[in-house]
Structure 1
Amino acid sequence: MKFVRFGPAGAEKPGIIDAEGRLRDLSEEMDDLSGIVLTHLDDFSPEGMPVVGGNPRLGVPVAGVGKFIGIGLNYSDHAAEARMDIPAEPIVFMKATSSLSGPHDPIRLPRGSVKTDWEVELGVVIGKPAKYVSAEEALDHVAGYMVVNDVSERAFQIERGGQWTKGKSCDSFGPCGPWLVTPDEAGEITALDLSLSVNGSRMQQGSAANMIFSVARIISYLSQMMTLHPGDIIATGTPAGVGMGMVPPRFLKPGDVVELSISGLGTQRQEVVSD
């Protein structure tokens, strides 16, 4: 199944996509797509739910996000273009939850930005608490998957000291969605194809099969260090083709249009504006 949250920012309602691709309102069945609801999404069905007309804004398809975790250099081709060694263990960083935005909301370049970059990534949403779980049981803790654009200001991230979080957490730097797709519908994760274009030109093309650390390994690894809770989001890394890796480097500017997709998980489109 595909779950969504729709409506104005800060006032989204939960919804579900039916077999005909229509958006149906789930607000009579649940308060929001968050917390304990994420542990039993199979209990919900679009049947009999009101059809939503028009073309409402889509928000982040999960609410109450406690942690927004990123995994760095998780594709060997991206590590190569970044001129960095393949990591022996997952590289972990945090994105502020205030960076979360809807799949079609604009990317707002922060003041002083000179190197804002794009990164299409497979996002994982935790559905039930995970602590000290093995890789074999890790996927049992997944509520679903979604597209994430891990937007990154490289000068903030790399040139200003400290943690990567500085360049990962600006407002609007975490577009998610359009849907939260349950594992049964998402299918085999390693078969998913990722792509991203800027102004119609293809920049990234990759497959989740080329991740260095699998989704199960990442969840297990993180759960040894922190409890993962329902609604936590993990962005699992990006394939080659980011602006930082080009010769010469290319970065986003006002007026650019970023479009990204993952097979079966939907498409995002963001216009770039100045904040």
Structure 2
Amino acid sequence: MDRLLGTPVAEVTDLGTSHEWSLRRATLTDGRRLFVKEARRRIDGLFAAEAAGLRWLAEGWRRVAGDAQGPVPEVLAADETTLVLPWIGGSAPTPAAAERFGRELAVLHGAGAESYGAPWRGYIAELPLDNTAGSSWPEWYAERRLLPYVRMAVDRGALSAADAALVERAAARIPDVAGPAEPPARIHGDLWSGNVLWDRDRAWLIDPAAHAGHRETDLAMLALFGAPQLERILAAYDEAAPLTAGWRQRVPLHQLHPLLVHAVLYGRAYRGQALDAARSVLRAC
């Protein structure tokens, strides 16, 4: 860690583990406090993808908003086994902070990209994420976000062949239910509530699976496990960047990918929710 930071570490506090990495708070001899992720099992390219995603989100923010500090922490250091970010204190989200987050998320999405995907090999948790570029979101979402995880879920026993066939039928109907075409948005990609840290008057985005995707994906992910102050976030977002008609009915479509990811990671506990989301897509046709 000293080698990466260039300043000696005075104290390290163990914060537990998550997925395939350990979490720590490091205090440097100059008084700065940092957040450190260290791999317990090396997965080539995983931390590089996270660092690239954070930098790409921050670059998009600067492109749209100028020098004002965006909701993305600076990557202080990264290599194949370690990622270092500034320490973010943590507090309960206030209504004002939630509204600010909604507006800032709209700005970040508006930075956009030339095509769907990303120019690096992606990960979501420790699972590979295919970021191959695409020009049509319905087809790209089906091919790069749904079908690979259906196959993984079957291989790991989380879904049956019949379950997979149901999800595949839903994936084939995405062009019919995706709503009006939108340009690629610069999205976090794994925006559940645990990846939003609140610190005094604002939110910070961590642990992205960043790529150019559909902006409704981030909003649906916020809803999946119940983000605090969600309606304030959504209202502020909609005021800053109005959402297209029917977006609430499309939430299950955008939640289908993270539910499949959870089925792969955690097994059949997420089977029911994933199949319910697929059925919602089919009913919307």
Bin for the TM-score computed over the shorter chain: under 0.3
Return the structure number with greater strand share: 1
TM-score normalised by the chain length of structure 1: 0.25
Q: Which has the higher contact order (CA 8 A, sep 6+)?
A: 1
TM-score normalised by the chain length of structure 2: 0.24
Return the structure number with greater helix share: 2
